[in-house]
Structures are given as C-alpha cells and as structure tokens.
Amino acid sequence: MRKLTLAVLLAVTVCLPAAYAFDSSATDKPAYLASVRAKLAAKQYDAAATELREISLRLPNADVFSLLGHALWKSGDRTQGMDYYNKALALDASHKGALEYQGELYVALGQIDKAKANLAKLKRLCLLGCEEEEDLDAAIKQATKGH
C-alpha cells in the first residue's frame, strides 16, 4: 500500500507543474483567456486590454502580461506594450509568446539586433521549430528585405 501511495504522490508531483502551466504552447491555451483571444483575433485591442488588466489583478502571470503587451502595442501604446513584455519575461524568460511579440515590436521600432536576439532565444527553445520562431523570423526577413 505504501508503494502505491508513493507512486500516486510521485505521479501527481510530476504532473502538477504541467497542469498549472499557462499558455506555454499552442495546444495549452487556458479557457480563461478565450474571450481575450477572440477580441485580439477581431482586432478589438482596447477591449482586450481592458479585460486583460482585470485578469492581471487576479492572475498576474506571463501569459496575461504577454497578451496585455500585445493588446497595448496594437492599440498604439508601444511603451506600455514593451513594459508588459518585460514583465512577462521577468516571470518566465522562456515565454515563447512574449519573446515573439517583443521581437516583433523591436522590428516595428527598427531595433533589428534586439529582434534577432529574441529569435536566437526562440531557436534555442524550439529545437524542432515552433510557430513563434517562424513568425518572428518572417517579420525580421520582411523588415530587412532589400538591405
């Protein structure tokens, strides 16, 4: 009986961090962000930012901060957008979404070297490639086309 209890505890301990991971992959998107994602897809950036600010008071995590940065940047506030990407990356330096979005903002700001640094981090994180790496790489290539 002790072995069974120990095995169950070990299984729960190993699986628990994955169950609480927030938006760490394309297939792991928490339900509480579904409404925000719909607003972002519809380019309702101000509405998404408002909702994300409310969520951030209850659940201040890298996913929320990354998406809030994106909503703010896309609504025209690049400074606050960058601030929230930095907050997301301070909580999770390996957050692929924040690295991609921040890199794309760097591209928009003409800071290609910083965008390339984010791309290098994504390449280390995405050994077999990932959407975030591909999107940032495409943004950099588009911005540097002809240079």
User: pLDDT tens-digit profile of 7-18?
Assistant: 433 333 333 333
Domains of the chain: 28-144 (1.25.40.10)
Q: What is the pLDDT of residue 29?
A: 77
pTM score over 0.95:
no
User: pLDDT tens-digit profile of 39-93?
Assistant: 999 999 999 999 999 999 999 999 999 999 999 999 999 999 999 999 999 999 9
Q: CB within 8 A of 78, min separation 6: which ones?
A: 105, 108, 109
How many other C-beta atoms lie within 10 A of the C-beta of residue 86?
Answer: 14
Q: What is the mean pLDDT of the chain?
A: 85
